[in-house]
């Protein structure tokens, strides 16, 4: 797929996209105790996909992630809603969160918080909205 | 120990700042886009790398905190800055920005003309010196 002399951009973006996505994952999980969170992690993931779309083309991005980003937005909103309504099952008010300490296999004792589910919803919604905007504008010809 | 490392961090940060300043002087002084891109890409990237390494060393020894984000930023800047400079220069050449009047050879022009693409008129006409 390399066309012409875009070879520098394409090869370096293959590496850099993974660095950006890894940093987005870091930002997503670190949002509870230090700067980060679902919003900027979503923006950063969308930036990585935008870099792929710049280095190759939009068809490649569609082939790498063969899902409709409008559905990603909907799923994100649904996850955030479920994370909010899940507390109603335990007789707590809407959006009441809980946390606990668990022994995970590799990480040891880890604090898990249901706010992460809400954040996952935010993340997916932001990725979906940003990529929908970018791909819609980019395909206008 | 910590004092020595603080001095190392100071020297690294100062060297980085000096490199960035030299890069800015290069942007002002050099005559055409390609030479300016040469100044902006290399020495600014090296200056940023020095500052980041200085900050990493400082936080590592003084605070005892190995900051992965700074390491990642070092790798990231080191990877992407040369590619950005390359893309700047290539976009400038393809859109017809002329070379400095003192340029003596232009091999890419022959390649482009052999492929049938239009190359820019390669050498700029000398412009009269401006009075400060």
Is residue A46 a contact partner of residue A92, using CB atoms and an 8 Å limit? no
Using one digit for the tens of pLDDT, what is the confidence trace for A105-135? 877 788 888 888 999 999 999 999 999 998 8
Per cent of chain B over pLDDT 70 is 86
Query: Minimal Cα distance from A9: which residue of B?
Result: B83
Using one digit for the tens of pLDDT, what is the confidence trace for A61-75? 888 888 899 999 999
Residue B117 pLDDT:
65
Reply yes or no on whether the pLDDT at B115 is more than 80. Answer: no
Any B CB within 8 A of A35 CB: no
Using one digit for the tens of pLDDT, what is the confidence trace for B68-107? 899 999 999 999 999 999 999 988 888 888 888 877 877 8
ipTM: 0.77
Residue B9 pLDDT:
92
Q: Please check whether residue A41 lies inside any domain of the structure.
A: yes
Residue B114 pLDDT:
80
Domain boundaries, chain B: 2-114
Any B CB within 8 A of A23 CB: yes
Residue A88 has what DSSP assignment? G
The number of domains in chain A is 1
Domain span at A14: 6-138
Please judge whether A16 and B80 are an interchain contact, meaning their C-beta atoms are less than 8 angstroms apart: yes
Closest CA to A9 of A48, A57, A54, A50: A54
Q: Please check whether residue A1 lies inside any domain of the structure.
A: no
Q: Please check whether residue A56 lies inside any domain of the structure.
A: yes
Q: For A17-23, what is the mean pLDDT?
A: 93
Q: Please check whether residue A98 lies inside any domain of the structure.
A: yes
Is residue A4 a contact partner of residue A10, using CB atoms and an 8 Å limit? no
Q: Of B17-26, B91-100, B120-129, where does the model show the most confidence?
A: B17-26
Confidence grade of residue A139 (pLDDT, cut at 50, 70, 90) = confident
Mutate one of A3, A4, A5 to test the B interface: name it (highest B CB count within 10 A): A5
Please judge whether B83 and A5 are an interchain contact, meaning their C-beta atoms are less than 8 angstroms apart: no
Per cent of chain A over pLDDT 70 is 95
Residue A1 pLDDT:
44
Q: Please tell me the distance in Å from A141's CA to the nearest CA on chain B.
A: 22
Residue B130 pLDDT:
66
Per cent of chain B over pLDDT 90 is 52
B10 or B109: which leads in pLDDT: B10
Q: For A17-28, what is the mean pLDDT?
A: 93
Any B CB within 8 A of A9 CB: yes
Tell me, yes or no, if the pTM score tops 0.95. no
Sign of CA dihedral B118, B123, B128, B132: positive
Residue A2 pLDDT:
44
The set of residues, in sequence order, having a beta carbon less than 8 Å from that of B23 and lying 6+ positions away, is: B39, B40, B42, B43, B44, B47
Residue A126 pLDDT:
96
Using one digit for the tens of pLDDT, what is the confidence trace for B38-60? 999 999 999 999 999 999 999 99
Cβ neighbour number for residue B23 with a 10 Å cutoff? 21
């Amino acid at each position: 797929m390399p066309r012409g002399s875009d070879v520098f951009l394409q090869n370096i973006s293959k590496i850099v996209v993974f660095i950006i996505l890894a940093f987005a994952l870091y930002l997503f999980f670190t949002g509870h105790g230090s700067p980060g969170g679902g919003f900027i992690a979503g923006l950063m993931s969308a930036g990585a996909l935008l870099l792929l779309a710049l280095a190759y083309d939009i068809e490649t991005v569609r082939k790498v992630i063969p899902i409709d980003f409008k559905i990603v937005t909907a799923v994100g909103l649904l996850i955030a809603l479920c994370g909010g309504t899940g507390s109603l099952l335990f007789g707590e008010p809407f959006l009441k969160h809980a946390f606990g300490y668990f022994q995970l296999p590799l990480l040891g004792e880890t604090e898990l918080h249901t706010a992460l589910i809400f954040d996952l919803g935010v993340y997916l919604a932001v990725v979906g909205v940003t990529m929908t905007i970018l791909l819609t504008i980019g395909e206008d010809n | 120990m910590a004092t020595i490392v603080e001095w190392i961090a100071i020297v690294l940060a100062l060297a980085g700042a000096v490199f960035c300043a030299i890069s800015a002087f290069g942007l002002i002084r050099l005559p055409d886009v390609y030479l300016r891109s040469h100044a902006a890409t290399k020495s600014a990237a090296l200056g940023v790398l020095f500052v980041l390494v200085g900050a990493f060393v400082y936080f590592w020894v003084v605070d005892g905190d190995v900051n992965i984000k700074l390491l990642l930023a070092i790798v990231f800047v080191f990877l992407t800055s040369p590619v950005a400079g390359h893309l700047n220069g290539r976009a400038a050449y393809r859109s017809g920005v002329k070379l400095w009047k003192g340029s003596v050879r232009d091999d890419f022009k022959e390649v482009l003309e052999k492929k049938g693409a239009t190359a820019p008129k390669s050498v700029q006409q000398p412009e009269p010196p401006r009075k400060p």
